[in-house]
Structure 1
Amino acid sequence: MYIQMIAGLYQRLQILLIGAPFAYTLIHSIDFLRENWPQLVQDITTGTLTDKITDQNLRDSVSDLLKSSNPRLGNFIAHHCSNSEDWSGIITKIWPNTKCLKTIVTGSMSQYITMLDYYSGGLPIASMRYACSESQLGLNLKPLRDPSVCNPSEVSYTLLPNMAYIEFILQKPTDDDAQQDIFNLTNVELGNMYELVVTTFAGLYRYRVGDILQMTGYHNTAPKFKFVARKGALLSVGVEKITEAELQKAVEDASGLQRSYGMIVEDYTSYTDVETMPGHYVMYLELTVPNGEAGESLTLLDGGAKKVLERCCSEMEDGFNELYKNLRMNGKVGTLEIRVVRGGTFAELMDSAVSRGASIAQYKVPRCIRVPYMLDILNRRVVSSYFSLASPPQWEPYKSIC
């Protein structure tokens, strides 16, 4: 990333598009610049490369760029990056010819749209294609639609029937593995949600990718779909199930309260704590101040922020399904808890995953933590916690359902 950043800064006027496979990686690259710009400026100003880059092939790749010092470029970068209290529009300040951002912001990645808008000054976000490890599957045929008409997180992809044989499992509230209706591309219906199944040239046969898609229309006769969520419940204490889509919506609903206090959710994940009696949901939030110092996180919160976060707990719970509310009212599920973590926590999660063999290009923040080493990182960096207020009065009817 350091080498790519050096090359991108030297050739800043030639950059027309900035992108990464997933929005999280793109955010991480800007945070990387925010953290490392002094060393980058020194290398560019002196025409040398830091000794921290030890791989000779990487050093050779930028040797031509660093043949001569460039104090003028170094001063330019330092001028814009040194103002750590205002990084709004930093992308267009440093790379003024950038036309759009190219990255995936559907599903849980929509969490990062606010920060992308902040860093880019509102550049269009183009989510070009729908793909997974198993196959390339679809294209967004209108990648630069007016965001006021189509939110980047709501884009639809036209599936390509020549890339794989594609089938769908219709999603019903009462679905189980014993009885499932399977449809091909010609039999899907508008508005229905389906689990994606692919048979690929590489040899996968009726492989369940795990993505849930919703049919949104047609391009000619080819159906278009939007990504909804990954399949399966993320959180469950007893018989209730909270899906990724429900969790994402709950976080988005609560984010409005946080933004009113000047806070932005940099990232989040969740955990089901069943060691307490009764078990309860835990939300880990990394909160930032956009105009604050590099990597600044809201760790020491005043009384006003405390009340906001307690209301956020209630707001999240209010967005969960009826079964959850019933179990909460009857004391079978404990009150939701928010744990605020230090700035850089989710970057540490990614670094730990990459050090264990994960691909940095395909890394996605797990929205429910089940891996012990990740949970340990989160808990070590918790600085404060908040619990939901008393159950809202409108929940009272749920108390007598069972």
Structure 2
Amino acid sequence: MNILEWVINQFYAIGSDFFYKKFVKDTIKAGDINRGVLQEILQGNSKTVYGLLYEFEGIRTSVDYKRIVPLTSYPDYENYIEEIAAGLENVLTSDEVNYFGLSSGTTGKQKRIPTTAKTRKIINMSMMFLQHGSLSSALPAARTGGKGLLLMNMLQSGNTPVGIPSGSGTSGGMQSMKKMLHYFWTSPLEVLAIKDQQVANYLHLLFALKERNLAYITSPFPSSIVQLFGVLEKQWVEIIEDITKGTISSRLTLDVEVREQLEKQLKPEPIRAKDLERELSKGMKAIAQRVWPKISNISCVAGGSFGIYMDRLRYYIGDLPVFSAVYGATEALIGMATNVNDVSYVVTPRSAYFEFIPLKKSDNMNPKTFDLDELNVGEMYEVVITNYSGFYRYRMGDVVKVVDYSHQSPVIEFMYRKGQLLNLAAEKTSEQAVRYALGETTKASGVILEDYTVTLKIEDVVGHYLFYIEINELVISATKALEMKSTLEQCLGDANPRYRAGVNAKRINEVDIHFVQTGTFQILKQELLKRGASLNQVKIPRMIQDPSLIMLLEKNIIT
């Protein structure tokens, strides 16, 4: 670490302490602070089209706000967003919309989430400072700083007709921070702009393995880290050769200019290569600690549907602490982790105004909502946000469970997203999208879908979805089975472009189908009833990970 990097790390540590202490102080009066955020948002946007419609200027309390302004979902904003994308100002927010974060759709149409400089600042300060302050408090070994390996990208999808860029929420954040990236992370900017994830992972490893004192690995999701180590497991001999010679393998498909820029940053390191070869030749178990002796933690979201990756991840990282960092979405930051090896989050009172709908009432026409200091420990709620970017009383669809309180701020665990089914690589394919894809597939094939479920197959570096499908035909020819598989892949991409993007970037392998015998799902229901499911409410789970249930399905495969 040179002098400049040392100074930056010291400044980083001081800033992180400041933000974390402020966050803890905020939790003491979380309810009042959060309602203050609401007033700030309403007064700041009172002259917008939306603010004038609901007379924001006259709203003085959260009770009035809930009475006057309706609960909303994304379709309520589509016309407004079209106007913003066309260049109109002061529509949903008085601040300029300078980015659209792209979310997933269900029939090929992605959501565009407005982002302003203020919302970007909230996210960036939390990701850069608050996250590190919270981690340092929970794990003093992380306080020393140093460079880490960051598994994200800066890819953007395009621009609106008036030039507003769009892309994933994390890509937008990375773009705004790119001048600082090389002080904190090992991968050059060029690597963060590579579309092919397997090529990018090879290069992430090449530069990270050169860093003897790597401090941590961070990624939004554990699946990305598992894939990274999968590349190491399969290609370490080639990577070692590149480190020895200071080159980049000719087998990697790279633009000439990008290759030249990256190779300028490499030099032969035969001694480091020998050290790495000695450890890698012993196998991949707990390899992270053996190639990076000073690594202190892994940062990624470990809860919710991502829990399925943790056993595989543990194989590579051994007993390294895992920090689940932040719980957030394109729309807003929601919570901050305060402990390692824990999947709960303390709600951040200043990032948005939060309301919570009791899950048992969430299907009501106009359910009552509660502020963050009014929740019951042990109960589940649907999250509703009002953010600084123009979404008001917005139903995110996230379901959380309150497990504790930190002063006045609830400690929550993410349970699931309503309607969401597939999320192997953060593509967020909803159950509606899956039903659409299956419906189009069976219609094109002239068969009737009797029932289905899905499981994840992640034995390889890149996982894929395996559908178990029961149709009205007892025999399926190999040709027809291949045709249906191809159609299903196409229709899933049509239903959710982020799924197709994941396949194109090699973060997800193409879908597979197993056809099962007639009556298989009735047998599955009987098994669920034996386990205690109610006869009136037993449902086929649309996502299955239980090994015994998968074995039942496998025993009934016809092709």
Give the TM interval when normalised to the shorter protein.
0.5 to 0.7
Gaps of 5+ in 1: 235-243, 249-268, 289-293, 298-312, 314-327, 333-338, 366-373
> Displacement of 1:96 after TM fit?
1.9
Flag the 1:201–1:359 CA change in 2: closer, same or farther, 3 A.
Answer: farther
* SS of match in other structure, 2:219: strand
Separation of aligned partners in 1, 2:296 and 2:393: 39
> Displacement of 1:284 after TM fit?
3.6
TM-score, structure 2 normalization: 0.45
Greater relative contact order: 1 or 2 (C-alpha under 8 angstroms, separation 6 or more)? 2
| Alpha-carbon displacement from aligned partner over 1:69-125 (angstroms, at most 9, x marks no partner) | 222333333344456xx4211211211221211110110011111011111112221
**Does 1:176 find its partner at 2:363?**
yes
CA RMSD after TM alignment: 4.4
Residue 324 of structure 2 corresponds to which residue in structure 1? 127
Residue 209 of structure 1 corresponds to which residue in structure 2? 396
| Match among 355, 378, 381 for residue 511 of structure 2 | 378
The answer as to whether partners of 2:227 and 2:462 remain within 8 angstroms in 1 is no
| Alpha-carbon displacement from aligned partner over 1:353-394 (angstroms, at most 9, x marks no partner) | 58748998xx997xxxxxxxx8xx213xx5x66675946578
Separation of aligned partners in 1, 2:417 and 2:259: 37
* SS of match in other structure, 1:43: helix
Flag the 1:158–1:57 CA change in 2: closer, same or farther, 3 A.
Answer: same
| Match among 417, 426, 438 for residue 230 of structure 1 | 417
The answer as to whether partners of 2:231 and 2:461 remain within 8 angstroms in 1 is no
Q: Please tell me the residue identity of whatever aligns with 1:91.
A: A
Q: Please tell me the residue identity of whatever aligns with 1:36.
A: Q
Residue 105 of structure 1 corresponds to which residue in structure 2? 302
**Does 1:5 find its partner at 2:5?**
no
Separation of aligned partners in 1, 2:382 and 2:298: 29
Separation of aligned partners in 1, 2:410 and 2:533: 40
Map of 1:34-45 to 2, 5 A cutoff? 34-45=233-244
> Displacement of 1:135 after TM fit?
1.9
Separation of aligned partners in 1, 2:396 and 2:257: 39
Rg larger in 1 or in 2?
Answer: 2
TM-score, structure 1 normalization: 0.60
* SS of match in other structure, 1:184: coil
Flag the 1:113–1:233 CA change in 2: closer, same or farther, 3 A.
Answer: closer
- Number of equivalent positions: 293
| Match among 457, 467, 470 for residue 286 of structure 1 | 457
> Displacement of 1:287 after TM fit?
5.4
Separation of aligned partners in 1, 2:354 and 2:233: 43
Residue 54 of structure 1 corresponds to which residue in structure 2? 255
| Alpha-carbon displacement from aligned partner over 1:9-63 (angstroms, at most 9, x marks no partner) | 111x211211211111111111122233233222112222234332535643552
Flag the 1:186–1:35 CA change in 2: closer, same or farther, 3 A.
Answer: same
Map of 1:21-32 to 2, 5 A cutoff? 21-32=220-231
| Match among 176, 196, 212 for residue 383 of structure 2 | 196
Separation of aligned partners in 2, 1:108 and 1:9: 30
| Match among 67, 73, 93 for residue 290 of structure 2 | 93
Separation of aligned partners in 2, 1:7 and 1:400: 57
Residue 43 of structure 2 corresponds to which residue in structure 1? none
* SS of match in other structure, 1:227: strand
Map of 1:268-347 to 2, 5 A cutoff? 275=442, 279-286=450-457, 288=459
Flag the 1:188–1:73 CA change in 2: closer, same or farther, 3 A.
Answer: same
Separation of aligned partners in 1, 2:411 and 2:400: 10
* SS of match in other structure, 1:166: strand
The answer as to whether partners of 2:358 and 2:379 remain within 8 angstroms in 1 is yes
The answer as to whether partners of 2:286 and 2:316 remain within 8 angstroms in 1 is yes
Residue 264 of structure 2 corresponds to which residue in structure 1? 63
Q: Please tell me the residue identity of whatever aligns with 1:6.
A: L
Residue 116 of structure 1 corresponds to which residue in structure 2? 313
